[in-house]
Amino acid sequence: MTLSISDINAAARTIRGQADATPLVPSPFMSGLRGHEFLLKLEIAQPIGAFKLRGAMNAVLSLPEGAAGVTCCSTGNHGRGVAYAAARRGMRAVICMSALVPEAKVAGIRALGAEIRICGESQDSALAEAERLALSEGLTHISPFDDPLVIAGQGTIGLELLARRPDLTCILVPLSGGGLAAGVALAAKTLKPDISVIGISMDRGAAMHASLAAGQPVAVTEVPSLADSLGGGIGADNALSFPLCREYLDDTVLVTEEEIYRAMQVLYYEDRLIAEGASVVGLAAVIAGRLPPSRGPVATILTGRNLDMGVFTRVITGQEVTLGDVTIKGRPYGA
């Protein structure tokens, strides 16, 4: 199974008018820090508040008439996208999530009318349940990242970025299972082979980073993070997102919880925008000086805004945040 830019162009036609054309805005503060124009792709403006609608919409709209319904495992946003797309088609959706998924995300999915199964403490147990349901109830299983239609849908972001700004030299992509990075990198590198595409994850439980280093999919321990949307493994039998990330990503970079915390403050106070921890890892890597100098304009993708408002309030007021066994010492912005 291979994927090409024609699959991404087809996805762009399928989702047109429903999950596309998000704004691309400059960040004056980040541009000043970087020494080159720094642009933010606002996937937080999607109807479900996250880019995952692109892949989910492409997959669900491609199902034949009369399909029984869909199921998936999710860290929250993919489930929300699948639930939204299924509701649009009047189709049943069963979303399987681990107990690590924040309640704000679960509530958002429930509100779209999907059935919810909470199973275990890891993405792996949620995946096992989704696969079981697919067999026992005849539902179509849609992987959050290792599915050709999902990757092609996410890749439409790469098309939009280069259509708007052909002069981009680098794209910073939040990285978990790698569906987003695979699609964006495939699109961007096909259109502009010398662009660099860098995947960014949190430094604990970064499954794709560890797998690329090992040369094969490896399992990681899932831990709570401000970037909860970046949690979970890439699947031992990963067929698509791992090989595509290996082929197309220039590098992967890790950031700490403190750096994510700081970047959420920067985005809020400097750009007046609200986004999840997972969304700001590209900013975090730049602010922490973890990236080589740019040759020209850089873009990052603000992937989602479905955060826990209690946690967010603590971050912007500079308070300590405790997530499971992790405590992030904060400080007020500007202090």
Ligand X SMILES: *Cc1c(COP(=O)(O)O)cnc(C)c1O
Q: 252, 175 in Cβ contact below 8 A?
A: yes
Which CB, 102 or 174, lies closer to ligand X? 174
Q: Name the strands in the sheet holding 92-97, side by side, starting at the edge strand that comes first in the sequence.
A: 115-118, 92-97, 69-73, 140-141
Instruction: State yes or no: residue 174 binds ligand X (CB under 6 A).
Output: yes
CB of 167 to ligand X, least distance (A): 25
**Minimum gap (Å) between residue 249 Cβ and ligand X:** 11
Residue type (1 letter), 158: G
CB of 178 to ligand X, least distance (A): 5
3-state secondary structure of 65: coil
108 binds ligand X (CB under 6 A): no
Among the listed residues 90, 92, 89, the one whose alpha carbon sits nearest the alpha carbon of residue 72: 92
For residue 50, state whether it binds ligand X (rule: CB under 6 A): yes
CA distance 269 to 260: 14
* Interface with ligand X, residue 178, by CB under 6 A: yes
Binding mask of the shown chain, residues 219 to 238, with x at each position contacting ligand X by CB under 6 A: ----------xx--------
**How many other β-carbons are positioned within 10 Å of the β-carbon of residue 333?**
16
Do 326 and 277 meet the contact criterion of CB atoms below 8 Å apart? Answer: no
Residue 210: CB minimum distance to ligand X, A = 14
- Judged by CB under 6 A, the residue of 206, 304, 311, 315 near ligand X is 304
Q: How far is the CB of 138 from ligand X (least distance, A)?
A: 26
Question: Contact with ligand X (CB under 6 A): which of 27, 71, 77, 252?
Answer: 77
211, 303, 311, 315: which one binds ligand X (CB under 6 A): 303
Pairing of strands 321-323, 298-302: unpaired
Closest by CA to 40, choosing from 172, 129, 148, is 172
CB of 70 to ligand X, least distance (A): 17
Residue 180 touches ligand X, criterion: CB under 6 A: yes
Query: Binder to ligand X among 52, 54, 209, 262 (CB under 6 A)?
Result: 52
Token couple for 151: 């990757």
Q: How many residues bind ligand X (CB under 6 A)?
A: 20
Q: 176 vs 238, which CB is nearer to ligand X? A: 176
Which runs of E-coded beta strand occur in the chain?
Answer: 24-26, 38-42, 69-73, 92-97, 115-118, 140-141, 170-174, 196-202, 251-255, 298-302, 321-323, 326-328
Q: Which of 122, 279, 294, 300 binds ligand X (CB under 6 A)?
A: 279
Binding residues for ligand X, per CB under 6 A?
50, 52, 77, 144-145, 174-181, 229-230, 276, 278-279, 303-304
